């Protein structure tokens, strides 16, 4: 019986990051939808639930943390991985409290990101 590729939603305001991560994830066998901001993602997640969310922490408008906090009220919860180029004191803890299963710093190591996604998917 064939299994369907897992669906990953990727949210990052940096187009070059979106393109690079989309290529990596598609090459690794995932279905991927990309979003440039948290508002578009929240609109989409109401209609289609991803298996995993990879979201940038620092974005204009709704930050990744804002989005995670809004997702806390969505049932069933969406497994989330936060990525950031600007690691700040206490941010990791805030993201974990808001429901993030992993917190990764840019520049991202492809294997670390893929391992984090696999771990999150394994917990489903």
User: What's the CATH fold of domain 12-122?
Assistant: Rossmann fold (3.40.50)
Minimal CA–CA distance to 8: which of 19, 89, 95, 29?
Answer: 29
User: pTM of this prediction?
Assistant: 0.95
CB atoms within 10 A of CB 122: 7
Query: C-alpha angle with apex 81: 24 to 69, nearest 5 degrees?
Result: 140
pLDDT tens for each residue of the chain, 124 residues long: 446 789 999 999 999 999 999 999 999 999 999 999 999 999 999 899 999 999 999 999 999 999 999 998 887 789 999 999 999 889 999 999 999 999 999 999 999 999 999 999 998 6
Where do the structural domains in the chain lie, given as residue ranges?
12-122
Query: Could you give the C-alpha distances from 83 to 23, 47, 58, 65, 101, in angstroms and in order?
Result: 17, 24, 9, 11, 11
Are 80 and 53 in contact by the 8 Å Cβ rule? The answer is yes
- At residue 32, the pLDDT reads 98
Which tokens go with 52? Answer: 């995993």
Are 38 and 61 in contact by the 8 Å Cβ rule? The answer is yes
- At residue 88, the pLDDT reads 87
Q: What are residue 107's phi and psi, to 5 degrees?
A: -70, 140
């Amino acid at each position: 019986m064939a299994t369907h590729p897992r669906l990953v939603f990727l949210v990052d305001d940096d187009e070059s990051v979106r393109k690079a991560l989309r290529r990596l994830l598609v090459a690794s066998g995932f279905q991927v939808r990309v979003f440039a901001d948290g508002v578009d993602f929240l609109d989409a997640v109401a209609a289609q639930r991803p298996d995993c969310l990879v979201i940038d922490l620092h974005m204009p408008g709704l930050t990744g943390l804002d989005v995670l906090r809004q997702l806390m009220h969505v049932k069933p919860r969406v497994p989330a991985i936060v990525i950031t180029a600007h690691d700040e004191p206490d941010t990791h803890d805030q993201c974990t409290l808001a429901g993030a299963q992993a917190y990764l710093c840019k520049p991202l190591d492809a294997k670390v990101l893929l391992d984090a996604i696999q771990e999150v998917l394994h917990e489903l």
